[in-house]
Chains A and B, each alone.
Chain A
Amino acid sequence: DAGVIQSPRHEVTEMGQEVTLRCKPISGHNSLFWYRQTMMRGLELLIYFNNNVPIDDSGMPEDRFSAKMPNASFSTLKIQPSEPRDSAVYFCASSLKGGSHTGELFFGEGSRLTVL
């Protein structure tokens, strides 16, 4: 299995530009998570999907952030407009949601975003 695939691995952009991060979950997994990691705030859950439906987006910092999952094999996290404080490593993770919801998360390698 190829694992969770994220792109781009690194992104450097200027303040005000739109940023789109992409994620391909593990085939057969039906839950997908977006996390943000910074030194100051640690690992924050932004949003998660079950069967392509957003379940909890309470961690999305503000309206500049949006996430979509148009099908079971693809998700995007978009920031528009971007700001320097959005600089972080963004992780996508997927999991198999069974009857007892006990599945561990499988993480991608992350997308390191730098907003100048």
Chain B
Amino acid sequence: AQSVAQPEDQVNVAEGNPLTVKCTYSVSGNPYLFWYVQYPNRGLQFLLKYITGDNLVKGSYGFEAEFNKSQTSFHLKKPSALVSDSALYFCAVRDGGTGGFKTIFGAGTRLFVKA
């Protein structure tokens, strides 16, 4: 069975500083990994995904994520945080090996960016 862990409930960062939101995963087959963002009273929005290829994936709003197979991690990063980046971030995984479509989400990490 697949699973996702986001070890931090909350991340605080000052505007202009780099940010990292951590994610580790567990799947039996090839991992398909995703990051989503949720703003208050809204649905989740897709940010980026890793399926195969380059370990550094670039996505929307200047976000990127680094896939590390040996550490089974997929951390979300941004070089310079904005106050408007404050939101709830979810890491998600699908087991590409099974050919199924079941997508499991982590518990979420709340990002606060201070001006």
Contacts and interface: CB of A to CB of B under 8 A. Distances in A.
A45 B94 CA distance: 12
A1 interface: no
A64 to B, nearest CB: 22
A56 B46 CA distance: 23
Interface residues of A, number: 25
A101 B43 contact: no
A77 B30 CA distance: 31
A56 B101 CA distance: 9
Interface string A92-107: 0101010011101111
A92 to B, nearest CB: 9
Contacts of B45: 107
A36 B14 CA distance: 32
Interface residues of B, number: 25
Nearest to B102: A56
Contacts of A100: 51, 96
A102 B107 contact: no
A99 B92 CA distance: 20
A110 B51 contact: no
Interface in B77-115: 90, 92, 94, 96, 99-108
A91 B96 contact: no
Which 7 pairs show the lowest CB-CB distances between chains A and B? A107-B43, A104-B46, A43-B105, A107-B44, A42-B107, A102-B51, A109-B43
B54 to A, nearest CB: 15
Contacts of B22: none
Nearest to A108: B43
Nearest to B32: A102
7 contacts: A42-B108, A45-B104, A48-B101, A50-B101, A101-B100, A101-B101, A104-B34
